[in-house]
Structure 1
Amino acid sequence: MKRIAWGITGSGDLIKETYDIMVDIKKKTDIEFMVFLSREGETVMKWYRMWDDIQKDFPNFKTDAGPNSPFIAGPLQVGHYDALIIAPATANSVAKIAHGIADTLVTNVVAQTAKGQTPIYVLPVDQVRGDVTTYAPSGRKMKLKMRDIDVTNSEKLAEMENMYILTKPDDIYELLNIEGKED
């Protein structure tokens, strides 16, 4: 059985798509998920009306009580989990990770995991320069302009040791060698 630690940051962009994929993977496999949310991740789950869903689908999830609480970094660092997935990752979390700042649960978990052998997979929401189409909590389409600094920080992640960039939520299927959802 595989064990996956999945960290959710405060990104509304790609949260629904990522969440649906993780639920699908959970239903199709015997992968054990340990889900943890940043403070802003909790806010976004509520804003997108997904709070009840996560309580039902991943009832043992953990929420940020500080950079090392709950204690997740240790088990990741020593290889208790097969992978750490941060998806989706906000520009703020990506910037902190890219510059070695570990002052939140998610950024500390990444920093400490990087010192061990557990691979880290990050899905930054800001990867492409220019306009990106996303969805508001209401489902309304909206365009966002990606800032150059945010895309540059995402690119910097790809250069870091033990760090792998996911370009879209569907990459999680490939990462775990699982057939994707049928359209």
Structure 2
Amino acid sequence: MKRIAWGITGSGDLIRETYEILVDIKKQTNIEIMVFLSKEGETVMKWYRMWDDIQRDFPNFKTDAGPNSPFIAGPLQVGHYDMLLVAPATANSVAKIVHGIADTLVTNVVAQTAKGDTPIYILPVDQVRGTVKTYAPSGREMDLKMREVDVKNSEALKEMENITVLKDPDEIYNILGLKK
């Protein structure tokens, strides 16, 4: 049985799409998905009114109590999980990862996992120059302008060892060899 460790950061952009895909994957396979959330990830799940959903759909979830608590990095390094997925990833988390800052649960897990053989897949939300459409917690469509520094950090992330950058949530199906 495959095991995925799924890290959620504080991004509202792409959270619903990513969440629906992981729920679908859980329903159509026997893949075990362990979810862990940064403090900001927890805030966003509550803001988007998805907190009850995550507790129902992924009862084996963990929340950030510090950069190494709960202890997830070790099991990822030794291959207990088949992959690490961080999706969606905020510009802040991406910047920290790119610059070697491991001061949150998610950024520390990425830093430590990169030292082993477990593949890492990250979906940064700030990848495209210009304006992107996203949705507010109310469901209202809105435009966000991407900052150049954030796009450059996403580009730098593509050059890092043992990290594959995903362009959109649908690619999660592809990396698992599944059809949408």
Q: Same fold (TM over 0.5)?
A: yes
What residue is the counterpart of 1:125 in the other structure? Answer: 125
1:102-160 superposed Cα distances (whole Å, 9 cap, x missing partner): 00000000000000000000000000000000000000000000000000000001000
- Residue 30 (structure 2) pairs with residue 34 (structure 1): no
What residue is the counterpart of 1:17 in the other structure? Answer: 17
What residue is the counterpart of 1:52 in the other structure? Answer: 52
Aligned counterparts of 1:138 and 1:34: Cα–Cα separation in 2: 28
Paired residue type of 2:18: T
3-state SS of 1:102 partner: coil
Q: Please report the TM-score for the alignment, with normalisation by the length of structure 2.
A: 1.00
1:60, CA displacement in angstroms?
1.2
Aligned counterparts of 2:132 and 2:173: Cα–Cα separation in 1: 23
Aligned counterparts of 1:12 and 1:117: Cα–Cα separation in 2: 30
3-state SS of 2:154 partner: helix
Paired residue type of 2:31: I
Report the number of matched residues: 180
3-state SS of 1:42 partner: helix
What residue is the counterpart of 1:93 in the other structure? Answer: 93
3-state SS of 1:65 partner: coil
What residue is the counterpart of 2:167 in the other structure? Answer: 167
Aligned counterparts of 2:97 and 2:65: Cα–Cα separation in 1: 19
- Spell out structure 1 runs of 4+ moving beyond 3 A: none
- Residue 116 (structure 2) pairs with residue 134 (structure 1): no
1:34, CA displacement in angstroms?
0.9
Paired residue type of 2:5: A
What residue is the counterpart of 2:6 in the other structure? Answer: 6
1:29-87 superposed Cα distances (whole Å, 9 cap, x missing partner): 00011100000000000000000000000011000000000000000011111000000
Aligned counterparts of 2:146 and 2:154: Cα–Cα separation in 1: 11
3-state SS of 1:139 partner: coil
Q: Please report the TM-score for the alignment, with normalisation by the length of structure 1.
A: 0.98
Aligned counterparts of 2:33 and 2:143: Cα–Cα separation in 1: 32
1:179, CA displacement in angstroms?
1.2
Aligned counterparts of 1:80 and 1:51: Cα–Cα separation in 2: 27
1:170, CA displacement in angstroms?
0.2
Q: Percent identity?
A: 81
1:166, CA displacement in angstroms?
0.4
What residue is the counterpart of 1:176 in the other structure? Answer: 176
TM-align CA RMSD: 0.3
Aligned counterparts of 2:160 and 2:119: Cα–Cα separation in 1: 11
3-state SS of 2:20 partner: helix
Aligned counterparts of 1:137 and 1:175: Cα–Cα separation in 2: 29
Aligned counterparts of 1:4 and 1:141: Cα–Cα separation in 2: 31
Unaligned runs of 5+ in 1: none
